[in-house]
C-alpha cells in the first residue's frame, strides 16, 4: 500500500464509527454463557482519545479491559496500551454502554487494532476483536463557513466562499489554526483550491453557472497525518428572472435563397423593472415537413439581436429566450416569413401572321403549386428595340399543367409589322417575377395606292376598269412590289358580302389594272390577300361606282 492510499485509509478509518460486527467471541473454557461485545471503538472523534464499549451478558458485566495493538502487526504482538477505567453511561450492567474517563495519550497517530476483554458476575469471560478498531487522529473544526449570496441572480453571479479551519491534536490536546490547502467544490462541478492564512481562514470567489447544487470545502494538510473532518455544505440556488422578446417586425417578405434577418430586443425583469438582456442566446427556429432552419444570435450590451436563417418556403419563425441558470423562458414570439419561390418561363415562341396578328405561347413554371387566381397571369409584352419601352399587349392565364412541364399559356393580339416580344410573370407574395427570352418577329408591310374604279358613273354593260399600284416597305422606303397577284373584290349596293371578281398581276412598277363589265351599283376594292410568308396583306381604297 503506497503512502497516499494508506493516508486515505486512515482518514476514512478516523471518520467512521467503530461498530460491533465482531470477529469473536472467544469464551473462557469454563463459561456456559460468555459476555457478548456489541461494538467498540473511539468516541467523539479521532482526537478524543476515549474508548466506548457496548456489551451484554446474562449477568452483570463486572470488568472491561481494552487492548490496543498496532494495526499492521499480527496477533500475539505486544500491545501498545490497555484501558480499564470504564464507566457505564447508559443501559444496565447486563446490557449497556461504557466509556473511558481519561483520554489516551498515544505516541503516534493512526488506526489501532482494538481487542476487548469482558467478565460478568458469573465469572464468564470473552475476548473479542472489534471490527473497526480505534482511530487516533487529528480532528478539524470548521467555523464561519459562508457562501454569499446563496441565491445569486443574473446581475449578481459572483459567489464568495469563506470560513475557518482549526486542528485539534489528541497527543497534546492543543487546538491550533490549520495550515493547509482548502478545496472548494462548487455546484458548477469544478474545484478551486486556496491556502489558509495564519488564523486558519480561507476565502475565494467563483461565478455560478449551474442551476443549483452544493458548495462544500475540504481541508488538505501538507503532511500525510491521519485526520478526521466533517463536511461543510451550503445549497446554492440561483434566482430566475422573467424574460421577454420584442420583435422589430412580425412579417417579412423575401426571395428564395435570401436569408431571413430577424431582429429585436431581449429584456429581463430585475429589480422591479425591464432591462436589456445582454450576452444571452436567442433561439430562432423554423420547421416544416420539408426540413427546418435555426439561428442562435447572441444579444449585445443593449439587448439587441439579429439572426439570419435560410428558409426554403413560407412559414413562421419562433423566437424566444430559453430558460437557463438565471432566466425563465420568454413567451414565444413569431415572425411570418413569406418566401417568394423562383418561377421561370420556358418554351416561349412567337408567330406573326399575314394579318399582323401575333401569337405568343410558352410554359410558366411555379413548382408543385399554382399561384392564386389573382396572381396566375402572364403578360405578353412588346418593345420596339427589345430593351426599353415594354408594353403589355395582352394578359393571359396559364392552364394547370404538371410541375415538370409547367403550365401552358397562349395569346393572340394585333401587332406592329416588326418588334420584340417577351412573356412576363409579375410574381406574387409567394413567387418571384420571371421573364421569358426576348424574341423578334417581323413581316414586310404592303400597301395599295391610287386604287380607283372608273369611269364614274358608268353605263350598264360598258367596261369598268379597277387600277392601282402595289408597294412594299423595304430598305427604309416604299418601293414597287412587282409580280404579285392582286385580287379584285366587289360588294353590291345594300349587301354586306364581298365577291371575288378575279385576279391581276402587278407590273414591274407595281401597277395593276383589270377591266370588268358594269352590271350594277356597288363598291370595288383591290386587295393583296395571299402574300408570301414574309409580307402582310393590304387593301386599296374602296371605290363606289354608280351604274346607270
* pLDDT above 60: residue 502: yes
Residues 366 and 399 in one domain: yes
Between strands 477-480 and 511-517, the pairing is: unpaired
Task: Please say if the pLDDT value at position 30 is more than 60.
Answer: no
Q: What CATH number has the domain bearing residue 125?
A: 2.60.40
Query: Band of the pLDDT at 21, cuts 50, 70, 90?
Result: very low
Inter-residue long-range contacts of 359-363, CB under 8 Å, 24+ positions, other chains counted = 359/410, 359/411, 359/412, 360/394, 360/410, 360/411, 360/412, 360/421, 360/423, 361/408, 361/409, 361/410, 361/411, 362/408, 362/409, 362/423, 362/436, 363/398, 363/401, 363/405, 363/406, 363/407, 363/408, 363/409
Query: Does residue 69 sit in the same domain as residue 160?
Result: no
Instruction: Verify that 180 and 275 share a domain, yes or no.
Output: no
pLDDT, mean of residues 86-98: 97
Rounded to whole angstroms, the Cα distance separating 490 from 488 reads: 7
Is residue 320 domain-shared with residue 381, that is, in the same domain? no
pLDDT of residue 32: 64
Residues in Cβ contact with 467 at an 8 Å cutoff, skipping those fewer than 6 apart: 450, 451, 452, 454, 511, 512, 513, 514
Split at pLDDT 50, 70, 90, the class of 42 is: very high
Residues 120 and 202 placed together within one structural domain of the fold: no
Boundary-marking domain end, from 186, 215, 236 = 236
Are residues 314 and 359 located together in one domain of the fold?
no
Alpha helices by DSSP H, 36-94: none
Q: How far apart are CA 146 and CA 215, in angstroms?
A: 10
Domain stops at, among 183, 213, 236: 236
Are 153 and 32 in the same domain? no
Shared-domain flag, residues 377 and 481:
no
pLDDT higher than threshold 60 for residue 27: no
Give the span between the Cα atoms of 468 and 454, in whole angstroms.
Answer: 11
For residue 188, give the CATH number of its domain: 2.60.40.10
Length of the chain: 548
Is pLDDT at 512 greater than 50 in this prediction?
Answer: yes
Q: Helix/strand/coil (H, E, C) string of 290-323?
A: CEEEEECCECCCCCEEEEEEECCCCEEEEEEECC
Q: What is the CATH number of the domain that holds 384?
A: 2.60.40.2060
Based on the domain organization, do 451 and 435 belong to the same domain?
A: no
pTM for the complete prediction?
0.61
Q: Is the pLDDT of residue 29 over 60?
A: no
CB 325 within 8 A of CB 236: no
CATH number (domain holding residue 457): 2.60.40.730
- Looking at the fold, whether 56 and 91 belong to one and the same domain comes out as yes
* Angle in degrees, CA 270, 273, 274, rounded to 5: 85
Q: What are phi and psi of 421, to 5 degrees?
A: -135, 150
For the cut 50, the answer to whether the pLDDT of residue 25 exceeds it is no
* Residue range 118-152, pLDDT digits in tens: 999 999 999 999 998 999 999 999 999 999 999 99
* 7, 111: one domain: yes
pLDDT at residue 16 in the model:
39
Domain boundary among 115, 136, 157: 136
Indicate whether 231 and 353 sit together in one domain.
Answer: no
* SS3 label, residue 196: coil
- Give per-residue pLDDT as tens, 343-398: 999 999 999 999 999 999 999 999 888 999 999 999 999 999 999 999 999 999 99
**φ, ψ (nearest 5 deg) of residue 359:** -110, 125
Q: What is the residue range of 312's domain? A: 243-340
Give me the number of domains the chain comprises: 5
Amino acid at each position: 500500500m503506497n503512502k497516499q492510499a494508506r493516508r486515505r485509509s486512515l482518514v476514512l478509518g478516523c471518520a467512521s464509527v467503530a461498530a460491533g460486527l465482531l470477529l469473536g467471541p472467544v469464551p473462557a473454557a469454563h463459561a456456559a454463557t460468555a459476555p457478548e461485545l456489541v461494538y467498540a471503538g473511539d468516541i467523539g472523534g479521532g482526537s478524543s482519545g476515549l474508548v466506548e464499549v457496548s456489551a451484554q451478558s446474562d449477568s452483570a458485566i463486572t470488568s472491561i479491559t481494552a487492548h490496543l495493538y498496532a494495526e499492521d502487526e499480527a496477533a500475539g504482538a505486544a500491545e501498545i496500551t490497555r484501558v480499564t477505567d470504564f464507566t457505564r453511561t447508559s443501559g444496565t450492567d447486563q446490557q449497556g454502554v461504557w466509556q473511558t474517563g481519561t483520554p489516551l495519550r498515544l505516541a503516534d497517530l493512526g488506526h489501532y487494532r482494538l481487542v476487548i476483554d469482558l467478565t460478568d458476575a458469573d465469572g464468564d469471560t470473552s475476548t473479542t476483536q472489534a471490527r473497526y478498531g480505534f482511530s487516533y487522529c487529528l480532528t478539524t473544526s470548521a467555523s464561519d463557513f459562508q457562501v454569499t449570496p446563496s441565491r445569486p441572480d443574473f446581475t449578481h453571479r459572483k459567489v464568495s466562499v469563506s470560513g475557518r479551519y482549526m486542528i485539534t491534536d489528541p497527543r497534546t490536546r492543543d487546538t491550533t489554526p490549520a495550515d493547509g490547502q482548502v478545496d472548494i467544490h462548487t455546484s458548477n462541478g469544478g474545484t478551486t483550491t486556496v491556502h489558509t492564512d495564519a488564523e486558519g481562514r480561507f476565502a475565494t470567489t467563483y461565478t455560478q453557472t449551474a442551476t443549483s447544487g452544493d458548495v462544500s470545502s475540504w481541508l488538505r494538510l501538507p503532511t500525510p497525518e491521519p485526520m478526521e473532518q466533517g463536511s461543510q455544505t451550503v445549497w446554492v440556488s440561483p434566482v430566475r428572472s422573467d424574460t421577454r422578446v420584442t420583435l422589430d417586425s412580425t412579417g417579412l417578405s423575401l426571395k428564395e435563397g435570401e436569408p431571413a434577418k430577424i431582429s429585436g430586443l431581449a429584456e429581463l425583469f430585475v429589480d422591479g423593472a425591464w432591462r436589456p438582456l445582454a450576452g444571452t442566446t436567442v433561439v430562432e427556429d423554423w420547421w416544416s415537413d420539408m426540413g427546418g432552419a435555426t439561428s442562435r444570435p447572441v444579444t449585445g450590451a443593449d439587448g439587441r439581436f439579429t439572426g439570419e436563417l435560410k428558409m426554403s418556403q413560407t412559414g413562421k419563425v419562433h423566437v424566444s429566450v430559453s430558460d437557463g441558470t438565471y432566466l425563465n423562458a420568454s413567451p414565444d414570439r413569431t415572425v411570418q416569413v413569406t418566401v417568394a419561390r423562383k418561377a421561370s418561363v420556358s418554351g416561349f415562341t412567337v408567330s406573326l401572321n399575314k394579318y399582323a396578328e401575333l401569337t405568343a405561347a410558352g410554359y410558366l413554371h411555379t413548382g408543385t403549386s399554382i399561384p392564386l387566381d389573382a396572381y396566375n397571369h402572364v403578360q405578353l409584352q412588346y418593345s420596339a428595340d427589345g430593351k426599353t419601352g415594354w408594353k403589355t399587349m395582352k394578359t393571359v392565364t396559364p392552364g394547370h399543367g404538371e410541375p415538370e412541364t409547367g403550365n401552358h399559356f397562349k395569346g393572340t393580339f394585333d401587332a406592329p409589322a416588326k418588334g420584340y416580344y417577351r412573356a412576363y410573370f409579375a410574381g406574387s407574395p409567394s413567387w418571384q417575377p420571371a421573364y421569358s427570352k426576348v424574341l423578334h418577329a417581323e413581316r414586310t408591310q404592303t400597301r395599295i395606292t391610287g386604287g380607283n374604279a372608273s369611269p364614274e358613273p358608268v353605263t350598264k354593260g360598258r367596261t369598268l376598269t379597277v387600277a392601282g399600284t402595289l408597294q412594299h416597305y423595304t430598305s427604309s422606303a416604299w418601293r414597287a412590289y412587282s409580280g404579285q397577284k392582286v385580287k379584285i373584290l366587289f360588294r353590291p349596293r345594300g349587301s354586306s358580302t364581298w365577291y371575288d371578281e378575279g385576279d391581276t398581276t402587278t407590273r414591274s412598277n407595281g401597277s395593276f389594272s383589270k377591266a370588268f363589265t358594269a352590271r350594277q351599283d356597288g363598291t370595288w376594292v383591290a386587295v393583296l390577300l395571299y402574300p408570301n410568308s414574309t409580307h402582310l396583306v393590304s387593301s386599296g381604297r374602296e371605290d363606289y361606282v354608280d351604274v346607270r
